[in-house]
Structure 1
Amino acid sequence: MLTDLFTPSVQHWLDIAGIFVFAISGALLGVRKNFDVFGMAVLAEVTALGGGLFRDLVIGAVPPAAFTDLGYFLTPLLATLIVFFLHPEVERITTAVNAFDAAGLGLFCVTGTVKAYGHGLGLTQSATLGLATAVGGGVLRDVLANEVPSLLRWDRDLYAVPAMAGAAVAALMLRQGALHGPTNAVPVLVGCGLRLLAMRYHWRAPRAWHRRSAATEEKLETARE
């Protein structure tokens, strides 16, 4: 398991780092939507902890880690304060924030898969919960902000697919008994690496086959009128 690669202390701080970066993205969306500080904090908490809460409730790991470790709960509040006072500066380092976000995505999709498997779920179900752990908070964030979730939009770089790939690799390695020691880094790097490549080259999922563009449809509607 991942604890073979990282000590519990290191694993804890990696989780905190991932939570912090996810919370930054939630608080920044609150700024863009002109929310007050409470709204920013809600988005930060939901983005950072939503996926893990969903996973823990599904597998019966209650109370969820977010409610037993004060650091998990307070970290998004710290991120909110930073964004509240320094959001112009944070916006300017978006590239760095996105890179750390990709690292958090890769880590959480794997830890979610491993934790679900450790609670007796099958490989497919475990990988699904790994995906939910990584992207669930972002979905809840967008829904609360009245936005179409980013992972459902064709005009956004791939996000769910890298997490799905990392979770699937982790599940396959669990099945083969190969997820131990240094090999734990493999699925993390798969998820993180694919996300970084998607941002670098703007990879996007295809839309419906032979779907006409919106511009073409508008021209046809105008011609009919």
Structure 2
Amino acid sequence: MLLRILELVGIAAFAASGALVGVTKRLDIFGVCVVGVFTGVGGGIVRDVLLGIHPPTALGSWPILGTAFGISLLVFYVHFAVHRLRREILVLDAVGMGLFASTGAVIALDHGAGPLASCLIGGTAAIGGGVLRDVLVNEVPLLLQKDLYAVPALIAAALVVAVSESGAPNNIALVVGTVFATTLRLLALWRHWSLPGPRIPE
């Protein structure tokens, strides 16, 4: 039950961030909700497709779709107030990223994926929604920028796999992965850490 609640919190955070992007792009109510919903459930859908889960869990779960749609609709109507909570949204987005990386890796292991595949699937689940959001609004995906986002997700998924393979309970692996990814992402935002880019001659 706790895992499902945390999953819905992550979906809500992603949906809110996606809907905010839709608002800043001046999309109509349908566009804002589409961007928000795809951001919220996109990573989970990509994860399930890679694992051969048909139909994807999100498409058959009213709580998941309802949460993503409801939050997107709420952001559309109260986006002025939500903009003031930008910092809080970034914190929730970081938590959601860490949670999706961890749960994605655990679900992959449970479905018989190998350690490397589980790491990659966990990382994909964490960043998939953001990539879909950026593609929908014609932006360069955050994945391809210098910002530290994909790296914490991939490391967290690897930690989850390592802890789980050591024989520890999945709950411990989930906590370790989620806390690590969230902490690293927030530190990167706070300290403005980024990956090195190419040196462009003057």
For normalisation by structure 1, the TM-score amounts to: 0.86
Letter in 1 for 2:179: L
2:131 alignment partner, SS class = helix
Uncovered stretches (5+) of structure 2, i.e. residues with no partner: none
- Tell me the CA shift for residue 179 of structure 1: 4.1
List aligned pairs for 1:40-119, cutoff 5 A. Answer: 40-119=32-111
SS of 1:147's partner is coil
What does 1:103-182 correspond to in 2, within 5 Å?
103-154=95-146, 157-182=147-172
Partner of 1:191: 181
**Mapped partners of 1:102, 1:205: distance in 2:** 18
Alignment RMSD (CA, Å): 1.3
Deviation at 1:18, TM superposition (A): 0.6
Which of the residues 21, 25, 40 maps onto 1:29? Answer: 21
Q: Note closer, same or farther for the CA distance 1:74–1:55 as it changes in structure 2 (3 Å cut).
A: same
The amino acid of 2:150's aligned partner reads A
2:200 pairs with 1:212: yes
* Alignment size in residue pairs: 202
C-alpha distance in 2, partners of 1:27/1:172?
A: 35
Higher mean C-alpha displacement, 62-71 vs 14-23: 62-71
Separation in 1, partners of 2:53, 2:62: 17
- 1:178 CA drift (Å): 2.5
Distance 2:174 2:23 in 1: 37
Fraction of identical pairs, as percent: 42
Contact 1:16 1:75 survives alignment (8 Å): yes
Unmatched segments (≥5 aa) in structure 1? 1-8, 217-225
Larger Rg: 1
Distance 2:181 2:169 in 1: 15
- Report the Cα offset of residue 101 of structure 1: 0.9
1:86-109 deviation line (CA, Å, top 9, x unaligned): 111111111011111111111110
Stretch deviating more after TM superposition (80-89 or 122-131): 80-89
- The two structures have a TM-score, normalised by structure 2, of 0.95
* Alpha-carbon separation, structure 2, partners of 1:179 and 1:103: 21
1:38 matched residue in structure 2 = 30
- The runs of 4+ residues in structure 1 deviating greater than 4 Å are none
